[in-house]
Amino acid sequence: MFDYNTRAAKFKFQGEVIVPGDKSIAHRAITFGALADGVTQISNFSYSDDLAVTTKVFKELGAKIHTEMSNNDMIIKGVNHQLKSLDHPLNIENVGTLESLLLGVLTTSNNEYTINGGNYLKQRSIDRLVVLLQQMGADFQKLSDDYLPIKMQGSDKLQGITYQQDISSAQIKSGLVMAGIYAKTPTTIIRKLPTRDHTEVLANYFGADVDAKPDIITIDPQKTHLTGQSLMIPGDFSSAAPYIAGALLSKGSEVRLPKVGLNSTRIGLLNVAQEMGANIMLESHSINVVEPYGDLVIKSKKLHGTTVTAKQVPFIVDEIPLIALLASQAEGQTVIEGIHDVHLQLSDRIRNMRVELAKLGIIMQVNDDSIVINGGQSIKVKDDVDSHNDHRIAMMLCVASILTATSFKIKNIESIDISYPNFLADFKKVLVACN
């Protein structure tokens, strides 16, 4: 475990940052490339800790994967859905996205598999997804009192189901999509609210038939044949988010973020920030690609409070800690509504965010279905803070550190490596001490 001592000065942002390739898209690109028939070429692939685990798992399942670290390229020779049988457990460590995708994938194989993971995933419920996959024809057996390890027996005779969402979970939806594209009959997902759509977008790009409408998703396996593709991964919006928030909050800042992913289901922070009065410009917007991207230019601006509606919440799940920080420094009150589903999925993140910001003198009210933050709060360092091994909280605390001249320690800073190993180096490059 590593700690990071912040600097005893206030800073602003000046310059340009090229953020790493999108982690969410990369997880899915590896998954579809490994399952497909033929070769997949991925450019702008960023080798974070989470993606290293996903790569390792699909290599064990038979895919040939070669990574060119010098130019961030990856080449995958897929298995054409002929997954390798194993005599040992697949260890997914604490990669939640991989867990959901993999459960769906392995459900479609006649092989028996055991999945194990780290302490976080062992305590995180997968019951909702498991029940749905059982309804399709898979068999699961818990091997301990925890959720992992779990033994599963899939089937090449899965039957599609109709699932009316009780919570708005992109990960449960993704697991069902992966199972549904290899089932014998169509699968229908009736949405509660729209969520991130990377799985549907890439499924169709690789050759599946996923009809995604705002209120319903239909997967037709009869029209599916996954074929290797070429894909450029845009910059990760969630990795760009700390610079966006930091530049807005630190007076005199201007930062440029080239080729950032602008998928409409990911950029909730942009919409919320603009509702708060943010000064954000979009340049060189590329939309005729698999996943849209563009250049963002952010300048500091005094913000005002806003109300974030329940419909917006699925599109800010990674950025809630940063939005809480923005709200605490704005004028007026901010309310984030409809967080019940996120609370079920990310209760630790919301609780830890509140606890750690309180150590910096920032107070908020967290209810079962809302977060209320009063603006105009001063950062008053009361104690050192802890990431709780959450990379989103760690990066938010780094942003908070530039707004105070009081130094403090961020414990377990290495959690940032989960998504953005070079974050601290890039962060420091664009910091300029305020006069």
Domains of the chain: 2-18+233-431 (3.65.10.10), 22-230 (3.65.10.10)
Lowest mean per-residue pLDDT among 262-276, 333-347, 381-395: 333-347
Using CA atoms, how far apart are residues 328 and 357, in angstroms rounded to an integer?
10
Binding residue positions? 23-24, 28, 96, 124, 169, 171, 318, 345, 349, 392
The pLDDT of residue 347 is above 70: no
Residue 435 is predicted with a pLDDT of 72
Query: How far apart, in whole angstroms, are the C-alpha atoms of residue 95 and residue 417?
Result: 13
Give pLDDT, residue 284: 86
pLDDT(332) > 90: yes
Residue 168's pLDDT is 87
Q: Taking residues 366-381, what's their average pLDDT?
A: 95
Average pLDDT over the chain, rounded to an integer: 95
Segment 24-48 mean pLDDT = 96
CA-based nearest residue to 161, from 142, 141, 175: 175
pTM here? 0.94
Active site residues: 318
* Known binding-site residue numbers for 3-phosphoshikimate: 23-24, 28, 169, 171, 318, 345
Q: Dump pLDDT digits (tens) for 309-322.
A: 999 999 999 999 99
- pLDDT higher than threshold 70 for residue 167: yes
